[in-house]
Structure 1
């Protein structure tokens, strides 16, 4: 249904004139899903691009996949602007269409009659733009577009009505800037990221739109010459205009954040007093002792403390781990995770290492991984000094099994919602009932709309001003999130097939022998 649009884009390119739509607008149209949600900056023309797609859908016949489009804006001005954009696109595509018709959509309450704007196409489909939520949206069929969703009076109820259209092959497109973390729009995005609701997310900030040519388009419209230095000044003026609200209005960061991401009640509900926390701390200067003595001492600690716990793990589970690395100051934390037959993930134990030399951290980590039953995936904090140990681990156990993670804002944005959902659903459980560990897991805060560990550190004893208190920085919380991340990655399971020899069987010729990847890679 979008071919005419791309024909226009390609034809104009061949004539050395700008494409009709910018890349991010094309990307939005190209997302085809029953539910797609776009979090966006203000005034980047995403609704304008949506109108182009809507015209193509409404003008197409039923056999070609055409459907009626219902557009819902939260005020009359934006509704009029949208329907006018649809009329413009109809003329641009040379599609026969009726004039814009104003009408009234009756409601059971006469005081709540809804003003509508409609364009009718020869296909029999329509574009119907509404100024507010219609109570009788239920039972209809087609595509529903909810624009500036965060500002609708009751988005949750509106979504219930709109999503019912999916049963009959409809689509729901939700577009909005943010209006706080407690808003239903922000919650919808969190649900999709957490896997609680099916849907496809799209995100475009103001600077991303500028990088795709937004200012060039502004110059074209104004008839002025494009200059890079003018673009920089224009962008700065826009950010200055929005001031303190620029993060939410332009950078897609919902405001009103800052509180704890995971509640104390949630963490305590998943805690287990029987899950041990093994803590190993070496004195300052320990690294100057002869290496063979350090290796022997650490091996003795592993045999005494770790081996009984590793031996107690059932052999029929799948194993994963997450590791947050530190050499001095903060902790290194190794968080094993086992997935049981019922797909629940539990913690057998947690290891905390403080002031442990690199060689001994490698020794202890490898000792654990080699003894985890059916080990599938691990995830390492690969920033800074952690990069070397992560690389050594990947070399030893396979780059396809070790995820080397850069803990960026984007990583937190994508992976904290599934981690929270696993805790809420009780599929991630048996967190050690240890004050420091639970404190680390609760250390995640909403920073610029994203759950992450803030820069400020805490102390082991909970006394931020205590002299000599050992510092913590949410280390166990990061390791837990990495372990959960590892458990959600695709894995390649290898099997060993024994082959009979000689005259007993000719299967060796047919299938070969040795380790075989279940994906078919030998």
Structure 2
């Protein structure tokens, strides 16, 4: 038997014509697919009535905007055999990106692009905020957006939860009696009851992360109080173009390396400084790999990026890797860091300040990385001493500590060297006045 085009929960969402509509759906349940279908049908309805309409899709990044356009809008229009023209134009949000647009025969247009406060302010249109809980500066986007849709336009907001520190949380949990929002909430269990072919037990066992399962599949709001890096800070520094080695610009680079040999991850994190921002350029992870493999990967990264500093976790088994790296790359640019409570506090403070100041950029939508960063918690021991711990993620926040070590490496001022030539003292060779010969007065200790 063929699968239905839409499941009942998607049909309920599609049939709701409320002007303001917010949906909280579990991961991979087709929320973007259903909403882009609504947008396509709305545009066709306007043209059938002799008019036209305008929709703007604001996504987390260029890749997500492209997915909404290619696997949503264009897919639906093609399935309905509707002619359209597709365009791409340059768009700048700190880095060059693309705005994608579809134009229908009657003049209706649908645009998809990465979200920021400026793009939210730049259109008068119906708006779809895709994965809104993950947008950087979600509150500023919201402030810029509402005047845009004030002239009777529709607003669609969908996402999975992402902590409590964002505007999406407020939209879903607002219990005021005059709230104009129509809300749809569909966790993985309801989606499966409605026919979605998923095995919840298998998914949960494969994920092996209770926090991620609770938030992204069962739609529970995680407590952000003890998280060292709340999701809002993580959202604000994610970027489509971070984490791509092909975009290396030959800038100053720094490597942080968290050491592990058995159950935890071995992680090497490369930061590249562009202007005053550190961009994650490459993140390499190994599990249960040999020390020879560790050395080979680190050699490859050092040869490729020629880092100014390499900071390595020297705790326990890290003693020998630090010694070996110092011999291979030079002790002047390799530093071992013992993970004492005081040192971990210093590393974590430097990193948090960088996240708060938005002077770092990390890969967009890397769920394992996000879980690692968010899993780090600062606790207080019975003696009143601070201690960092982690829960969730697929290691002990190994990616986070590698990132922090790299940020620490970049925090040291770069030594600048200048060369000032000294005018030599000469005497003229009496036999050949065209030759200048250094004076014997400059000869000391066996060299000039």
TM-score w.r.t. structure 2 length?
A: 0.46
More helix by share: 1
